Amino acid sequence: FRFLQAATLNNLTTSQQQAVDHKEGPLLVLAGPGSGKTRVITHRIAQLVQSGVHPYNILAITFTNKAAREMGERVDALLPDAKIWVSTFHRFCAQLLRKHARGVGLQPNYTILDTSDQRRLLKSVLTELGHDVKHFPPAKVAARISSSKNRLVGPEEFALNPGGGIGDTMLRVVTEAYPAYQRALQDSNAVDFDDLLLHVARLLEENPALRSQLDERFQYVLVDEYQDTNLPQYRIVRALSQDFPNLCATGDPDQSIYAWRGAEIGNILRFEQDYPDAKVVRLEHNFRSTKAILRQADLLIGHNFNRKAKALLTENDEGPPVELLTFTDGAAEAEGIALRIQDLVDQAGRAWSDFAIFYRVNALSRSIERALARFHIPYQVAAGVGFYDRAEVKDIVAYLRLIANPADRTAFERVVNVPARGIGKTSLTRLTAWATGQGGGLLEAAARAEEVPKLTKRAIKALHGFYELISQLSQRTAQGVAELITQVVTQTGYDHSWLDDPTEQNMERAANVDELISAARQYDAAHGDDATLEGFLEESSLINDVDSLDEHAGSVTLMTLHAAKGLEYPVVFVVGVEQNLLPHERAINSDDPHELEEERRLLFVGMTRAEEQLMLTQTAVRDIRGQRLSTIPSPFLFEMDLAATVVETDSEYIAWDDDYAHDHSLDDFEPIIKQRPEEDAPRPQMMTAADLLNGTNTPTEIPRGFSIGMDVRHPQYGVGTVRNIDGFGRRKTVTVEFAAGECRNFDIAKSPLQPV
């Protein structure tokens, strides 16, 4: 392999270099955020290949597809000819399972159910068992099943090991539903997300020959973000690292934030026991953040009891203090953030893409999106799953799934009558009952609809027609996925009703279908002869939220704190740092103190994404589930030493209708910023954000960009000094004394004054 001695390769500290150079035997890189763990993995791959390891023998696992792609690209830049398998656990397992499906009772063309399909299937299962889905919501049952799978507890063992906090009736229902659900999956030749891992873990455990074959194939396994592996992932990694225990794990226990999904921090803490001859490398140098940011992050995480303290040092600048911004309500918060961003772009030369906004729950993004849109600030939301959740996209994908896997029951149920073919609920129930009795799939039953008792002639004809349609479409898979989708749309007449009725909604639907076709075209192009329908479906079902992000879009990025792991941005806002949001109410109400610690780690992860500037926000009142409630500041705020700023926006401007947005310009949104003096009294423990807003201290007023004593420039009068600020909002005026000792008043909203 041609090896590029790229300059970047030399940019490693001594400890990083040690980790990169270590060749044989287990290696644990244990280090805080921004210390180069991910970088070490990339360089280590290059180093391994350079030292003679065949790329075929290397497997690298990252936490998201985006991370996998980026790492793949970086390795590619260092080693242009090497094909290294860089993947997420789920994709890796999906591909492995394609090859070894029969080992777990599946066919190689198995399909992957997403969360909503999974619930749909579970709903049918519960109904068939005679349970009322109102009392036993599929989502709750699904969560139980999922957590059992993540503990490697199968349907047979469930009753013996159901996990904590389950009531008697729920226990009974899940004990019945879990095996029935697994059977339904098996009958559908389908898996859910958890099964991907579970099946592979089982496969490796039950087939020693296969295990040793794969262990030999993947001689060098590298796992980033090891602190967030769950039990099946842990077992898989262990199974692949016995005869060739060259496992390299990197991670940071302080960034473990997926316990709710079954991740076990214990996996990383146990590494040295699992591999007694492991080499452990610690990286103590942070290359990402300013001193000010690291100091606050360190203060915060220091409050977790269950941790080993780690040094986090940086040679980066001190940077501006970490700020806590307090707003009246969510609308003011959104607007204040938009204004801050606008200011930093206008006055500090920032680019839109420098900014990221993180939140604990998705519901918080809406008001921020609206404010950004109103200020014409370009933004993107990390929500890749969103696209594939749209009805029309799900419909088309269901057709594709049925073509790939005729046994797929949820796919059949979804599209058998879309567009309408006169196959009603009753016909479908009869068909399903008969198919279950015959032990076959629904599509197969549709082909033999005339044998199904009590079906109308019309329904029989329609079912035959549907079967024919899918059979014909199945002949077209060789021309590529994009072409197949086009065929699906035209042959089913899926978009006919929209084309006749070009409402905005219909046009959006058509655009979404087009987007799916482009995604397929990209897939076809990227995979050439290896492109398969199964491959495309796999890719689209295993999408992560951050996959949708485009770094070159030149826009502000919004995402949940969970999605932010591993990423970095120059300026970061963490919004809604309030009791019940962060920490989340679930953690507060939980008896398990570890949940609160996980919330603290989550904030820690968010804060340590920031390179240069970090702002946390809270509001005095917040609208939660339709109710306007006074907030209580997050306890985490008292664990740090933040520069507190109260930002008031003139509420009369906060009207959200479109007419309003048309009639007003940016200058109308003039906040009054009251800054607390540095030597402020210590914050009382139970002070609310509202108290902070109505603070008794006389604040120094600084309207956006202006403060008393500041020098300003007027295009006509030249340079002067601000002597007074008066009024509120749009009516705010500023008095400036110019060189000649002459004072003039200006409406800030309209004046062309600029700070100098």
Report the 10 Å Cβ neighbour count for 571.
22
Q: Which of 38, 88, 487, 619 is catalytic?
A: 38
- Non-local (6+) Cβ contacts of 634 within 8 A are 577, 578, 579, 581, 582, 583, 603, 618
Distances (CA, A) of 153 to 147, 156, 175, 366: 9, 8, 12, 38
Among the listed residues 35, 227, 353, 544, the single contact to ligand ATP using CB under 6 A: 35
Can you state the percent helix, strand and coil of the chain, rounding each to 5? 50, 15, 35
Residue 32 counted as an annotated binding residue:
yes
Number of residues that bind ligand ATP (CB under 6 A): 18
Sole window of 5-13, 126-134, 135-143, 522-530 interacting with ligand ATP (rule: CB under 6 A): 5-13
554 annotated among ligand-binding-site residues: no
Exactly one of 22, 39, 119, 421 binds ligand ATP (CB under 6 A); which one? Answer: 39
Contact of 328 with 648, CB cutoff 8 Å = yes
Which one of residues 3, 6, 13, 98 is an interface residue with ligand ATP (CB under 6 A)? 13
Please return the burial class of 164, using the count of CB atoms within 10 Å of its CB with bins 0-12, 13-18 and 19+.
exposed
Q: Which of 295, 350, 609, 622 is catalytic?
A: 609
Q: Please indicate whether residue 224 is annotated as part of the active site.
A: yes
- Is 34 among the annotated ligand-binding positions? yes
- Give the sheet arrangement for strand 733-738, strand by strand: 743-747, 733-738, 718-726, 711-714, 754-755
Contact 396, 494 (CB under 8 A): yes
Q: Is residue 134 part of an annotated ligand binding site?
A: no
In the set 194, 225, 395, 539, the catalytic residue is 225
How distant is the alpha carbon of residue 179 from its chain centre?
A: 30
Q: Is residue 704 among the annotated active site residues?
A: no
Q: Using the rule CB under 5 A, is 566 a contact of Mg ion?
A: yes
- Looking at 37, 295, 360, 600, which residue is catalytic? 37
* Stretch touching Mg ion by CB under 5 A, among 299-307, 454-462, 559-567, 661-669: 559-567
Q: Which stretch binds Mg ion (CB under 5 A): 118-126, 381-389, 564-572, 639-647?
A: 564-572
Contact, 578 vs 633, CB < 8 A? yes
Catalytic residue among 114, 117, 176, 224: 224
CB of 7 to ligand ATP, least distance (A): 11
Q: How far apart are CA 16 and CA 12, in angstroms?
A: 6
Which residue is catalytic, options 255, 314, 619, 688? 255
Closest CB 351 distance from ligand ATP, rounded Å: 17
Is position 60 annotated in a ligand binding site?
Answer: no
Report what 13 binds from ligand ATP, Mg ion, none; CB cut-off 5-8 Å by kind: ligand ATP
Stretch that binds Mg ion, among 1-9, 30-38, 168-176, 678-686 (CB under 5 A): 30-38
How far apart CA 527 and CA 534 sit, in angstroms, is 12
695 is in an annotated binding site: no
Check binding of 287 to ligand ATP (CB under 6 A): yes
Active site annotation includes 37: yes
- For residue 118, give the nearest of 134, 102, 139 by alpha carbon: 139
Could you write out the DSSP letters of every residue in 581-647? BTTBHHHHH-S-HHHHHHHHHHHHHHHTTEEEEEEEEEESEEEETTEEEE--B-GGGGGS--EEEEE
Q: What is the DSSP string of 88-139?
A: EHHHHHHHHHHHHGGGGT--TT-EE--HHHHHHHHHHHHHHTT--TTTS-HH
Asked about 711 being catalytic, the answer comes back as no
Q: Smallest distance from the beta carbon of 254 to ligand ATP, in angstroms?
A: 9
Min separation Cβ 227 and ligand ATP, Å: 9
**Residue range at the interface with ligand ATP (CB under 6 A); choices 7-15, 454-462, 467-475, 503-511:** 7-15
146 belongs to an annotated ligand binding site: no
Nearer to ligand ATP, 12 or 345 (CB): 12
Rank residues 282 and 723 by Cβ distance to Mg ion and give the closer one.
Answer: 282
Site for Mg ion contains 38 (CB under 5 A): yes
Is the peptide bond preceding residue 682 cis, with omega within 30 degrees of 0?
Answer: no
To Mg ion, the closest distance from the beta carbon of 63 in angstroms equals 8
Which 598-617 residues touch ligand ATP, going by CB under 6 A? Answer: none
The identity of residue 54, as a single letter, is H
Contacts for 92 with CB less than 8 Å, ≥ 6 apart? 59, 61, 85
Helices (H), 353-456: 365-374, 384-388, 391-404, 409-415, 425-438, 442-447
Instruction: Restricting to residues 236-255, name those near ligand ATP by CB under 6 A.
Output: 252, 255
Q: Name the DSSP letter for residue 151.
A: T
Task: Give residues in contact with Mg ion (CB under 5 A).
Answer: 37-38, 566
The residues carrying an active-site annotation are 37-38, 224-225, 255, 609
Annotated binding residues for ATP, as ranges?
A: 31-38
Task: Give residues in contact with ligand ATP (CB under 6 A).
Answer: 11-13, 16, 31, 33-39, 252, 255, 287-288, 566, 568
